[in-house]
Structure 1
Amino acid sequence: MKRNYLMRAGVLAALVLFLAMPIVGQAAEITIFHFNDTHSRVEEGPYDGMGLAKLSAFIKAERSNNENVLVFDAGDTFHGQTIATLVQGESIARIMNGIGVDAMAPGNHDFNYGQARLLELDEETDYPILAANVLKNGAPILTPYTFFDVADLRIAVFGIATPETTYKTHPDNVRGLDFLDPVDAAKELVPQLREQADVVIGIVHLGVDPDSFHTSTRLAKEVPGIDLLIDGHSHTTLEEGLWEGETLIVQAGEYDKNLGKVTLRVQGSTTNLTASIITKEEAEGITPDPAVTAIISEVKESIEAMTSEVIGSTRVTLNGERGDVRAGETNLGNLITDAVLDATGADIVITNGGGIRASIPQGQITVGDVITVLPFGNYIITKEIAGADILAALEHGIDSYPETKGAFPHVAGIEVVFDGTAQPGNRLISVTLDGQPLDPEETYVLATNDFMAAGGDEYTMFTQAPVVGNFDGLDEILIEYIQKTGSVAPQVDGRMKTGSR
């Protein structure tokens, strides 16, 4: 009897002890939607994504059944299309507010209207634009980080902008700003956030391009304690994310072709992350969010009078596709440089393929079409420059061929033959002007856009050459050229072609 009593007493004591222990709760689960590099592609299109109204519909459908939802944007948002550039991003801020974005990091193109305008857009958005590594006089110009309390969890979110912004927007836009190395900034910040939060997330515009130094993979590798990096800049689609150590990196491609989704579950000290994407094809049957559709319609109506003016026509499709203009000659690149040559009377024209942002289909051409192709508001400068610097510039522009590069040169006035298999820096076979080899010792008049003239896209060889003329905006020059010509049909004529020695 005593034995049975002791057994029962032992069971009772164990039960009391169990009931007295802290109860381990169910896992906290959060859904995180993310997108990047939309470049103001607000509407569905053959070369674009699902459109922001469908993207918003997915998010709001989830939020209607789940209060534990966060939405993050990894940058290059406010600039790129007519609907954005004519009002310097104000339209996109309204749309993002309508979607319900919770935070974003600035992309390099979000500085395209200048740093002062970015700060104004930060005031116009209902959410913070986060950047811990962008300083002026030693202090951040934007909010470095913020916190969200979701599902009984404290979520710390910080932002990082790419230091490549210093040459991937016009230098005047970032004058006086210091872009700290993302690793250095995060090493100082993340341990502090880790002490205050259950989960640490970075919204970063860095990319995973192995040719870049400042990447999200490097950040994850060198800074422990980051659970999730929501990335942009390299336009990469990571369908299930990319693990670098204990950090998950996600990126949703470009132009709202995908909506990224991360499921975050925390139970005790264990954090589990699962990444996926919702594709444009999956969005085919979804009804667009009427609230966002209404904002887009209202904005389009307000600018339609400015953009709908027909200026001429094209008998062929004008090719401005990203993968083509950043890796070779296209008929649209030739049309643009021919227009600049006509307007300036320069010896040589060079413009960067990364500045050409869209194609124009066969048929009528409107002002809006041209602004969509050339959205950056660049103007044309002529400089007196040595032939040796022209040759160095061309070598720089073709050094990644056949890989795409925003600096790839589109030219007029010269014919360039290069060996794309040769060692970078030694690829030029011939450069001729009026049938004669370009003389490294001779001085030529070069026309280029003000972005490149100031050293943008790392065309540093242009910066010291004296300015001899200032001209209209590149979009205005192209509009006037098309108006004067009436109907255009430019061809790829071999002014940038490959060969062998």
Structure 2
Amino acid sequence: MRIRTAAAVVALLLSMVEAHADYSLTILHTNDFHSSFEGIDRWDHDCPAEENAAGNCYGGSARLMTAINEARKRTENSVLFDAGDQFPRPENPYDLNVSLTANLMNRLAYDAMTLGNHEFDYGEDVVVEFIDRLNFPVLVANIDFSGNPHLALGTRKSAIIERGGEKLGLIGVTLESSTASAAYAEDVVTFDATGAVQAEVDNLIAEGVNKIIVISHLGYSADKRLAESIVGIDVIVGGHTHSYLSNTFANAVGPYPTMVNGVAVVQTFSFGLFLGELTATFDDEGNLTKAVGDPILLDASVAESEGITSLISNAEAELK
């Protein structure tokens, strides 16, 4: 009887510990990649093969794949987000390759993204094709695409995914001016980001979600203002301003993460030079109790995935 009683007490204690155990989530993220498939040199120019072989180049999809895989192996629960501007700037239109961009993002297994302003630079057909090719949700809460059935079909305001048995609420938001110059601008309606995000937060909380991440293409300063204004969010994964946040680099524009009103704000420069890695810890009620990390520099010490290198080479050969 005593043995059974002791066993019951141990089981009860274990169940109590499990019920109140912290939940840890690793958030991997990119932003403003701008079609930098093969990486760049120290002057932010495309990386020639001979320079890459000499170890003088940074970033690129092949190194990004390696870094993501390594991060996934060393962490229990991980997600991968992109905060927009996968497409090149309009002054570099020849870098645009919609199918390659989508194929690479699918291979890297992103969980969600929002659209940046440069996704709208190349016309409706291009952005629709891009969204259609993706295997994960594209989130934009502050643009109503219902006047354009093609765009409305491919985008959502928010989504719920699961990791380690926990629900994660995801909301996307982008610049209100993103579609202003687009030929189809009259078909879409933009809203204030703060109100749009808060509405989605309220919807997610009503569905029982207590861990909420915003994927934003508003810019670093705007993200900090959003963190001050919104009730119920935990992390903002940002982009647009190419802001380098770091705890180790003296010239960083802010710490990684930047904590505002209890919200962890992150961003990781641009052009694929870094992979952002934030470890967020939540208590049993979904409160963010700890957020630590730093961007990972994708230099020559990070091996290039041969599979991704081949995919890029084959895609470029098809264009010649």
Give TM-score, length-normalised by structure 1: 0.53
Equivalence map 1:134-283=2 (5 Å): 134-137=143-146, 141=152, 142-167=155-180, 170-195=181-206, 196-209=208-221, 215-239=222-246, 240-269=256-285, 270-271=287-288, 272-280=290-298, 283=299
| 1:292 aligned onto 2:308 | yes
| Aligned-partner Cα distance in 2 for 1:165–1:207 | 13
1:30-62 CA distance string (max 9 Å, x none): 211101011111112213441121011110122
Q: Partners in 2 of 1:23 and 1:234 — Cα distance?
A: 45
SS at 1:262 equivalent: strand
**Counterpart mapping for 1:43-54 below 5 A:** 43-46=38-41, 47-48=43-44, 49-54=58-63
Q: Aligned-pair distance for 1:17?
A: 7.0
Cα offset, 1:19, TM superposition: 5.4
* 125, 133, 141: which one aligns with 1:124: 133
Partner AA of 1:30 in structure 2? L
1:57 matches 2:66: yes
Cα pair distance change 1:298/1:245, threshold 3 Å: same
Distance 1:295 1:102 in 2: 21
Q: CA deviation at 1:192?
A: 1.8
Is contact 1:228–1:247 with CA below 8 Å preserved after alignment?
yes
Q: Is the 8 A contact 1:111 1:174 kept in 2?
A: no
1:13 deviates by: 9.7
Secondary structure of 1:287 counterpart: coil
C-alpha separation between the residues in 1 aligned to 2:305 and 2:67? 9
Q: Assess, with a 3 A threshold, how the Cα gap between structure 1 residues 61 and 275 changes in structure 2: closer, same or farther.
A: closer
Secondary structure, counterpart of 1:78 in structure 2? coil
Name the larger-Rg structure: 1
Q: Deviations over 1:423-464 (max 9, x none)?
A: xxxxxxxxxxxxxxxxxxxxxxxxxxxxxxxxxxxxxxxxxx
5+ unaligned residues in a row in structure 1: which ranges?
1-8, 210-214, 306-501
Which whole-Å CA distance do the structure 2 matches of 1:246 and 1:293 have between them?
Answer: 40
CA deviation after TM superposition for structure 1 residue 199, in Å: 0.8
- RMSD of aligned C-alpha atoms? 2.5
**Residues 144 and 190 of structure 2 are in contact (CA less than 8 Å); yes or no, is this contact kept in structure 1?**
yes
* 1:86-140 deviation digits (Å, cap 9, x = unpaired): x4x2221111112111110000000112234322211101111111111134798
- Mean Cα deviation higher: 111-120 or 155-164: 111-120
1:39: which partner in 2?
34
What is the letter of the counterpart of residue 62 of structure 1?
Answer: A
Alignment of 1:66-77 (within 5 A): 66=75, 68-77=77-86
CA contact (8 A) 1:83 1:300 kept: no
Residue 223 of structure 1 deviates from its aligned partner by 0.8
Which deviations, in whole Å up to 9, do the C-alpha atoms of 1:214-272 show, x marking residues without a partner? x1122111111110010111110112121110111100011112111111222323422
Q: Which amino acid aligns with 2:272?
A: D
- With a CA cutoff of 8 Å and minimum separation of 6, indicate the structure with the bigger relative contact order: 2
Structure 2 spans left out of the alignment, 5+ residues: 45-57, 247-255
Q: 2: CA distance between counterparts of 1:18 and 1:153?
A: 25
